[in-house]
Chain A
Amino acid sequence: DIQMTQSPSSLSASVGDRVTITCRASRNISNFLNWYQQKPGKAPKLLISGASNFQSGVPSRFSGSASGADFTLTISTLQPEDFTTYFCQQSYNRPITFGQGTRLEMK
């Protein structure tokens, strides 16, 4: 199985900050990497597919990039509603696997 390792597991930041969350795959997954946001008690919401493709309706402050086995989700200017949990997910092969999540907390 492909292991997805997210870092950091938690992150403290302030409104207006720029933050970066990283996801590393245990082996090559090309750009078969998606990012989701999950708020407490709610279903995950797709932010980015294929490492860098925006989803309709997602604010432009969210962006994704890839460099080798490392994938990055960047939030350029944090808004109050962004303080929640983020997951990466690979769909390169089965079983589909998720990262363990990154909790973004308000400083």
Chain B
Amino acid sequence: DVHLVESGGDLVQPGGSLRLSCEASGFSFRSYWMTWVRQAPGKGLEWVANIQQDGSEAHYVDSVKGRFTISRDNSKNSVFLQMDSLRDEDTAVYYCARTAWTLRDYISYFDYWGQGTLVTVSS
């Protein structure tokens, strides 16, 4: 069975840093793009960042560019999100998700999600 387990969420002051981890099991981790999605309390879903299989390519939503860094360690089946210069508006549950693709049209989708880890930015 596919499992994704996030950790690292905490209460942090504005301007602070936090590193989230997501450990994967049950599939060939190195074969998949991985994604972070967040959800502010009572709000909708927001794509944050994703990373290619070998870590050579990564993309970010504009609101986190220059502050967040996604990375991965395929030897540890893990993906990370380093979050610096945190702001109040970064408060959210952060989910990691496996990215898969349809075979015919190459449409990406998130087929497995972790349970999420809560990041609270507050003074």
Contact = CB atoms under 8 A, between A and B. Distances in A.
The bracket for how many chain B residues form the interface is 20 to 34
Contacts of A42: 115
Contacts, number: 64
Contacts of B45: 36, 38, 44, 87, 89, 98, 101
Interface string B94-106: 0100000010110
Interface of B: 35, 37, 44-47, 50, 59, 61-62, 95, 102, 104-105, 107-111, 113-116
Contacts of A31: 105, 107
A95 B110 contact: no
B47 A96 contact: yes
Per DSSP, chain B at the interface is strand
Interface in A47-89: 49-50, 53, 55, 87, 89
Contacts of B102: 49-50, 53
A94 interface: yes
A46 B107 CA distance: 14
B62 A95 contact: yes
Given A43-B95, A49-B102, A50-B105, A94 B59 contact: yes
Interface residues of A, number: 26
Nearest to A43: B113
B109 A34 contact: yes
A28 B95 CA distance: 28
A45 interface: yes
A101 B113 CA distance: 18
Contacts of B109: 34, 46, 49-50, 89, 91
Contacts of A100: 44
